Each structure stands twice: as C-alpha cells, then as structure tokens.
Amino acid sequence: MKDYELGNSISDIFEMLPEKRIKKVMLGNREIGIVRVGDKVYGFHAFCPHRGASLISGSVNLSEEIICPLHQYRFDLKTGQCRSSDCSDLQTIPCQLTEKGLKITIP
Ligand code: FES
C-alpha cells in the first residue's frame, strides 16, 4: 500500500478537477482515473474490467456511476460494482479530500 498526495488544499483540488471531468493520473506504474462529484473524489483503475477500454474517456451520470465508452457498462464509483451486467467489478482506489489536498492510496 502506498499513499500519494496531490495539491496543497481543497481549492487546489477543486480547480484541478472540474466536476465530473475524469482525469488520468500516473502513480508509479499504475494508471488510474480520478473524478470529483461535488465534494467527493473517486479513484478507479483506468481500464474497464469488461474488455479493457480506457475509462478516462468515459462519463459520469447522476447516480455517481462511471459509464464505459465502449459498451456503456456502468460501474458504481463508490464500490466499483458493475451495475449493468454480470461483468467483474471495477477496482476502486481510495481517495480522501483533506485540508492539505487529495490523498490517494494505492492498495
Ligand atoms: S469494454 Fe467497457 S463495457 Fe465493454
């Protein structure tokens, strides 16, 4: 497990992450996606567990699900659970917004 920190304050993170705009982040050799919804930030493995499409060009709906751009499977951003088929779940990456910025924990 390894922690990474982004930014220096909550406002840095809000500026860096416009709402629902998915951003790709390289941490070590891991490519992850992060997205902010309101005052929550979610992290996830950048590739879809279905057929490996990049989720960086996916979208986020009102139910806080990420939608894969290739076959439109939906994954719960909080749990990674696949909501539209019996596909494997998406690996989520814990993100914590603090006064000092964003802490991302790679399992
Ligand atoms: S590759 Fe993502 S839903 Fe098929």
The answer to whether residue 49 scores a pLDDT higher than 90 is: yes
**CA 104 to mean position of chain CA atoms:** 10
Q: What is the pLDDT of residue 107?
A: 83
Q: 30 C-alpha to center of ligand 1: Å?
A: 19
Q: What is the pLDDT of residue 17?
A: 97
Q: 82 C-alpha to center of ligand 1: Å?
A: 11
Q: Based on the structure, what is the number of domains in the chain? A: 1
Which ligand 1 atom is nearest residue 71's CA?
A: 3
Q: Which residue has the tokens 């076959």?
A: 71
Q: Which residue has the tokens 């596909």?
A: 87
pLDDT band at 46 (very low <50, low <70, confident <90, very high): very high
Global pTM reads: 0.94
Q: What is the pLDDT of residue 104?
A: 97
- Residues 20/9, Cβ–Cβ less than 8 Å: no
- Residue 37 has what DSSP assignment? E
- Residues 28/2, Cβ–Cβ less than 8 Å: yes
The boundaries of the domain holding residue 65 are 2-106
Q: What is the pLDDT of residue 86?
A: 85
**What's 82's domain CATH number?**
2.102.10.10
